[in-house]
Amino acid sequence: MPGYTAKDVQALRQATGAGMMDAKKALDENDGDMDAAQRWLREKGLADRGKRVDREASQGAVAVVRQDAVAAIVELRCETDFVAKAAEFVSLADELAEAVAINGEDATEGMADNVAKLAVTLKENISVGRVVRLEAGDGEVVDTYLHQQAGRGVNAVGVVLAGGTPALAHDIAVHIAFARPTYLSREDVPDAEVADERSTIEAISRNEGKPDAALPKIVEGRLNGWFRERVLLEQPYAKDDKQVVGTVLGSAKVVRFAQVVVGS
């Protein structure tokens, strides 16, 4: 039986801000001695860790690794811009992305201790965010784009193309980074979402006093504009807005794309 009670654990947590398991371990290691347990938590860098876990991790870095037919994107989250730019933080994000490229999306779970140790070192809530792995099949290519800011990635894109070149895949990835499409094609947009938007556009048009006879054409025109904002193939191409992405692709097809933006 341990030489302490649940109330002792709670008291230690309140005094230090440590997590429950850390508080229990501190008491175990120090035979229930509260003062010694507090000192042990401070020495181990575990005091205030529980408080850190509750703080919002809205900053971070995104890392990209491309190896032959595979591309991996990993987001590592933290609380402050200062930590997000730290060399050891950016380095861990790169290591996580490399592990995902080699071993799959679950590879980050095997590096949980590395993330936890860095959280202790940098005294912030640090966690793995979005993880994506793209793999090109036969007749396909994959390429990536990473927009950097202050030495760390903040906007990462991966694109798999069928019947295209790596250069074209890269150009499409650059476009996606800045245009931020939500869907590949119009057919991918959920029917319910389209119906809601159509209803909203119709209500707006009526409130503007548009004549009933003109409503169908007006609604369709505005709905097409709505599609152009969020559907990749219909977006004006970033490098030449006189063309849409679907035209730029020619006979090539986007098999899959993924985008991860810090804080989004």
- Listed in order, the ranges of the chain carrying CATH 3.30.479.20 are 59-185+233-261
Tens digits of residue pLDDT in 15-70 = 777 777 888 888 988 988 888 888 787 767 666 555 555 555 579 999 999 998 99
Name which residue leads in pLDDT, 124 or 132.
132
Average pLDDT over residues 218-229: 96
CATH architecture of 190-230: Orthogonal Bundle (1.10)
- Listed in order, the ranges of the chain carrying CATH 1.10.286 are 190-230
Name which residue leads in pLDDT, 180 or 3.
180
What confidence tier does 250 reach under pLDDT thresholds 50, 70, 90? very high
**Single-letter amino acid, residue 234:** E
Tens digits of residue pLDDT in 158-192 = 999 999 999 999 999 999 999 999 999 999 999 99
Name which residue leads in pLDDT, 172 or 5.
172
Place of tokens 């396909």: 140
Alpha-carbon torsion, ordered 125, 126, 127, 133, to 10 deg: 160
Q: How many residues does the chain have?
A: 264
110, two tokens: 């095997």
Calculate what percentage of the chain has a pLDDT beyond 70.
Answer: 93
pTM here is 0.77
pLDDT at 52: 52
pLDDT at 224: 96
Helix or strand or coil: residue 151? coil
Helix or strand or coil: residue 162? strand
CATH architecture of 59-185+233-261: 2-Layer Sandwich (3.30)
- Listed in order, the ranges of the chain carrying CATH 1.10.8.10 are 6-52
Helices 87-103 + 112-122 axis angle, to 10: 170
- Assign a CATH topology to domain 6-52: Helicase, Ruva Protein; domain 3 (1.10.8)
